[in-house]
Structure 1
Amino acid sequence: MAIKRVGSQTVKLLNPPAIVSAASIVGPKEGQGPLSNYFDKVLEDDLFGEDSWEKAESKMLKEAVRMAVSRQDLMLPDIDYMLGGDLLNQLMSSSFAARDLQIPFLGLYGACSTMAESLSLSAMLVDGGFADRCIATTSSHFSTAERQFRFPLELGNQRPLTSQWTVTGAGAALVANDDGGPFITYITTGKVIDYGIIDANNMGAAMAPAAADTIGRHFDDTGMLPEDYDLIITGDLGRYGRDIASDLLKTKGYEVVKNFTDCGIEIFNPKKQDTHAGGSGCGCSAVVFCGYLFKLLREHRLNKIMLISTGALFSPTSAQQGESIPSIAHAVTIESKKKN
């Protein structure tokens, strides 16, 4: 009997695991944005001393993992599982990082939903007694994602206003049995939703229905309401996607305007940085959570948040074949204090 199951898509963790440390590394553009003071490391150049952008992304991920682990005075062999992924074919950045880190690895592909997915599964492993410590990771890089999914950078293509800027960054969060906080208390796993969007430069519109579906399902399953949260924050919808998701949630009877934002909105200044609709990419919700939100939770400036990382599950092949863009969103409730 699934005693931790709540409703159709949500689980309530009976012994909520703690996020005991986190680390974030970002590129130069992200380091010029409004959250710059919250990131642990800002790169001087997006090659990070490597000879390719893909190697740079993998190096960011390795360094974020090492930083998060060392903050607990632990060694890499003390970690039971590393869970994570990225946007590249065959999870290249994550797999090569795991090769060097030598932590038992579970590779995940949820596109930009991967940070919430890795946090969800890490928490389930720890709460279920299968692990004492898991490291949840995710990364992306503007240059690697652009040339895989859109155009060679050398072309300098003009970007439409609905487009978003893929975040160069990596985040790592260490999930463990601990009495400190913050704690992962609820997990709502999303369904794949497809409204028929085919424009790869309008990812917010493609992902917004999945975000609204998961958020609405979370409220239906738990009986909680938007006002029970200090902050409800999606991963990669940007300005247009956030507004679409808000409108869709209204049709479900949930008003989320006052405490609803998006990591892609928060990470850049669109007027000064020319990022159009905002940020995106696996690293977007990863660095905003691991660098910004985690610190606010530790300082009790936020007491209860819902992080909903949103992912577009398309590939260069599916796009070239004219397929629509199926999307998914996973939600985790994170609270600064453990409830009795």
Structure 2
Amino acid sequence: MASRAGKHTLMMQNKPCISGFAAVAGKKEGEGPLARRFDKLYEDTHLGQTTWEKAESTMQGEVVNLALGKANLTAGDLQLILAGDLLNQCISSTYGLRELNVPMLGLFGACSTMALSLGTGAVLVESGAVQNCAAVTSSHFCTAERQFRYPLDYGGQRAPTSQWTATAAGSTVLTPGGNTGVPSVQAVTFGKIVDMGITDMNNMGSAMAGAAADTITTFFTDTGLTPGNFDMVLTGDLSQVGSDLMNQILVRNQIELKERHADCGLLIYDRETQDVAAGGSGCGCSAAVLCSYVLQEMQAGNLKNVLFVGTGALMSPTSVQQGESIPGIAHAVWITGC
């Protein structure tokens, strides 16, 4: 059973295992620095489907099956799938996973959904309520643009603070602790809603920065650990603007991440050559980076302790149109190496 450290952090006594993981991505991501790390790359943004929404659903179904294969499991071995995405009513997850015939919990944490689903799944496995479960999320540049911003043929100029929604998906398969040779979950800190008063949907990094700083501060306060205990504190995805602001807040909280900090939105693209403004975003951004490069490095023994802090901007098109600010949230998952 999980024990509580401090006010908000759950420590896993049995350390649920990440027995399988996989990531898929689109053409632009395949032109970035992590291209060789992804299990599958798609050249066609439609993935052979008739709509972008169906394409995103296809990514979810495929990435779960890839992760299951690596864990030597099938969909029939799962008791639960925890999934979500950016689209209204989480339709990418609903339609992408319906053929698997597995009980599903639909989750919405915006771009924090990978950390939310992974953390929730770990707690369920740790408790014994679930033996095997999958955590998955996705995003697609074209579906997100259609819902949140402008029609693609509008041709509007992107603000320097804006981020590029990744066409990508990532999945992990969680099993009970004791499986050596795979990464495992040591602790989970579910975050609080933090509102920075940002109203510009093209500045989501700043909107999420306060929540990231709050959750990181909470984790270190609860556990008594410091950034020096970690090889990487991985946020996802603040990109450049949000990362700078988060680190300024953390310094005020007497926490300095320095070279240990990495951000999924800055890892997935080359900002110098790929015209992505401040960097990457979207549920699939942090999911794909975690479930490829980071967990691969952990499995290889190159990273021992990673604090994965998924960040999300909890907005909707309606709330933005009504002039509401954009609240942020961040969830932290401490992952230990093999």
Q: TM-score, normalised by structure 1?
A: 0.97
Query: What corresponds to 1:142 in structure 2?
Result: 141
* 1:13 maps onto 2:15 in alignment: no
TM-aligned CA deviation for residue 70 of structure 1: 1.7
TM-aligned CA deviation for residue 72 of structure 1: 2.5
In the alignment, the residues of structure 1 paired with residue 249 and residue 12 of structure 2 have an alpha-carbon distance, to the nearest angstrom, of 28
In the alignment, the residues of structure 1 paired with residue 136 and residue 291 of structure 2 have an alpha-carbon distance, to the nearest angstrom, of 10
1:78-100 deviations in whole A, cap 9, x for unaligned? 01100010000000000112212
Query: What corresponds to 1:232 in structure 2?
Result: 233
What SS does structure 1 have at the residue aligned with 2:194? coil
Query: What corresponds to 2:253 in structure 1?
Result: 252
In the alignment, the residues of structure 2 paired with residue 149 and residue 87 of structure 1 have an alpha-carbon distance, to the nearest angstrom, of 9
* Structure 2 residue identity aligned to 1:21: G
In the alignment, the residues of structure 2 paired with residue 108 and residue 130 of structure 1 have an alpha-carbon distance, to the nearest angstrom, of 18
Query: What corresponds to 2:224 in structure 1?
Result: 223
1:239-273 deviations in whole A, cap 9, x for unaligned? 11001101100111111112112000000001110
- Residues 24 and 288, structure 2, Cα contact 8 Å, conserved in 1: yes
Query: What corresponds to 1:132 in structure 2?
Result: 131
What SS does structure 1 have at the residue aligned with 2:116? helix
* Structure 2 residue identity aligned to 1:227: G
Query: What corresponds to 2:284 in structure 1?
Result: 283
The aligned runs of 1:102-121 (5 Å cut-off) are 102-121=101-120
What SS does structure 1 have at the residue aligned with 2:185? strand
TM-aligned CA deviation for residue 3 of structure 1: 6.3
- Residues 2 and 12, structure 2, Cα contact 8 Å, conserved in 1: no
1:191-222 deviations in whole A, cap 9, x for unaligned? 00001000000111000000000000000000
What SS does structure 2 have at the residue aligned with 1:268? coil
Runs of at least 5 residues in structure 1 that lack an aligned partner in the other structure: none
* 1:308 maps onto 2:309 in alignment: yes
* Structure 1 residue identity aligned to 2:135: A
> More displaced, 302-311 or 63-72?
63-72
TM-aligned CA deviation for residue 320 of structure 1: 0.4
In the alignment, the residues of structure 2 paired with residue 114 and residue 102 of structure 1 have an alpha-carbon distance, to the nearest angstrom, of 22
The aligned runs of 1:1-340 (5 Å cut-off) are 4-177=3-176, 178-180=178-180, 181-337=182-338
In the alignment, the residues of structure 2 paired with residue 183 and residue 336 of structure 1 have an alpha-carbon distance, to the nearest angstrom, of 7
1:301-325 deviations in whole A, cap 9, x for unaligned? 1000000000000000000000000
What SS does structure 1 have at the residue aligned with 2:210? helix
In the alignment, the residues of structure 1 paired with residue 132 and residue 286 of structure 2 have an alpha-carbon distance, to the nearest angstrom, of 21
In the alignment, the residues of structure 1 paired with residue 143 and residue 319 of structure 2 have an alpha-carbon distance, to the nearest angstrom, of 18
* Structure 1 residue identity aligned to 2:179: D
* Structure 2 residue identity aligned to 1:23: A
What SS does structure 2 have at the residue aligned with 1:273? coil
- Residues 26 and 167, structure 2, Cα contact 8 Å, conserved in 1: yes
- Residues 24 and 39, structure 2, Cα contact 8 Å, conserved in 1: yes
* Structure 2 residue identity aligned to 1:221: D
TM-aligned CA deviation for residue 75 of structure 1: 1.6
In the alignment, the residues of structure 2 paired with residue 72 and residue 191 of structure 1 have an alpha-carbon distance, to the nearest angstrom, of 33
Runs of 4 or more above 6 Å deviation: none
What SS does structure 2 have at the residue aligned with 1:227? helix
In the alignment, the residues of structure 2 paired with residue 216 and residue 160 of structure 1 have an alpha-carbon distance, to the nearest angstrom, of 30
In the alignment, the residues of structure 1 paired with residue 10 and residue 57 of structure 2 have an alpha-carbon distance, to the nearest angstrom, of 32
* Structure 2 residue identity aligned to 1:96: Y
In the alignment, the residues of structure 1 paired with residue 2 and residue 152 of structure 2 have an alpha-carbon distance, to the nearest angstrom, of 51
1:93-122 deviations in whole A, cap 9, x for unaligned? 001122121111000000000000000011
In the alignment, the residues of structure 2 paired with residue 271 and residue 51 of structure 1 have an alpha-carbon distance, to the nearest angstrom, of 33
* Structure 2 residue identity aligned to 1:234: T
In the alignment, the residues of structure 1 paired with residue 320 and residue 264 of structure 2 have an alpha-carbon distance, to the nearest angstrom, of 25
CA shift in 2, pair 1:147/1:89, >3 Å: same
In the alignment, the residues of structure 2 paired with residue 116 and residue 71 of structure 1 have an alpha-carbon distance, to the nearest angstrom, of 20
In the alignment, the residues of structure 2 paired with residue 324 and residue 72 of structure 1 have an alpha-carbon distance, to the nearest angstrom, of 42
- Residues 2 and 127, structure 2, Cα contact 8 Å, conserved in 1: no
In the alignment, the residues of structure 1 paired with residue 79 and residue 90 of structure 2 have an alpha-carbon distance, to the nearest angstrom, of 20
TM-aligned CA deviation for residue 76 of structure 1: 0.7
1:139-183 deviations in whole A, cap 9, x for unaligned? 000000011011111101100111000000111100101422211
Runs of at least 5 residues in structure 2 that lack an aligned partner in the other structure: none
CA shift in 2, pair 1:273/1:3, >3 Å: closer
In the alignment, the residues of structure 1 paired with residue 174 and residue 94 of structure 2 have an alpha-carbon distance, to the nearest angstrom, of 20
CA shift in 2, pair 1:114/1:3, >3 Å: closer
What SS does structure 1 have at the residue aligned with 2:258? coil
- Residues 2 and 123, structure 2, Cα contact 8 Å, conserved in 1: no
Of all paired residues, the percent bearing the same amino acid is 49
What SS does structure 1 have at the residue aligned with 2:318? helix
